[in-house]
């Protein structure tokens, strides 16, 4: 009992090759006759084989989709896990966002919708959301590094 897994793999490959060769050398009539002798319905077998192949093809085609979904889920988890120390008080958060808008004016139009063009009308939740987005994009780190 000292056979290694590689030996089993070789043996299985050998059996598979012999099986494939036997099928390849048999005529369609011989294969159908043998299936009927064994009590199998060739039509049902064909339907079952088609379903197996169809499912295998679908699984193969959807593998990349599943991989992309997994990467997306991991990235979302990373984003939510990402913590950046924002100022504790609403006035501090508003001042930080104001600094960003002063140092990088194009961020104002990128982050604020038409209804909130006036910075003063933003709620604290809006300010916090903007700051979290900027933190994720690395903008707050750049502002901090430049001496804000």
pLDDT one-digit tens code per residue, 22-45: 888 888 888 889 889 999 998 998
Is 0.75 topped by the overall pTM?
A: no
Q: How far apart are CA 30 and CA 94, in angstroms?
A: 83
> How many other CB atoms sit within 10 Å of the CB of residue 97?
25
**What's the rounded Cα separation, in Å, for the pair 37 and 31?**
10
Query: Is 53 found in the same domain as 66?
Result: yes
Do residue 52 and residue 66 come from a single domain? yes
Q: What is the pLDDT of residues 136-147, one digit of tens each?
A: 888 887 776 665
Q: What is the pLDDT of residue 54?
A: 96
Same domain for 36 and 57? no
Report yes or no: 36 and 42 within 8 Å, Cβ to Cβ: yes
Q: Are 121 and 98 part of one and the same domain?
A: yes
| pLDDT category of residue 3 using cuts at 50, 70 and 90 | low
Give the residue numbers spanning the domain of 56.
Answer: 41-81
Give 16-20's long-range contacts (Cβ < 8 A, gap of 24+): none
**140 lies in the same domain as 101:** yes
**Contact between 98 and 132 (Cβ < 8 Å):** no
Shared-domain flag, residues 104 and 114 = yes
User: Quick one: what percent of the chain has pLDDT higher than 90?
Assistant: 27
DSSP 121: G
């Amino acid at each position: 009992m000292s056979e290694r897994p590689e030996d089993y793999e070789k043996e299985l490959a050998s059996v598979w090759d012999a099986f494939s060769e036997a099928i390849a050398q048999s005529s369609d009539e011989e294969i159908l006759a043998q299936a009927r002798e064994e009590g199998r319905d060739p039509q049902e077998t064909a339907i079952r084989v088609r379903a197996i192949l169809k499912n295998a093809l679908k699984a193969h085609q959807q593998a990349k989709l599943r991989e992309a979904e997994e990467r997306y889920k991991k990235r979302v988890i990373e984003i939510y896990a990402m913590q950046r120390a924002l100022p504790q008080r609403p006035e501090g958060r508003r001042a930080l966002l104001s600094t960003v808008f002063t140092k990088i004016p194009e961020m104002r139009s990128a982050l604020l919708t038409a209804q909130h063009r006036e910075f003063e009308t933003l709620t604290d939740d809006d300010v916090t959301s903007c700051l979290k987005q900027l933190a994720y994009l690395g903008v707050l780190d750049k502002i901090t590094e430049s001496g804000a």
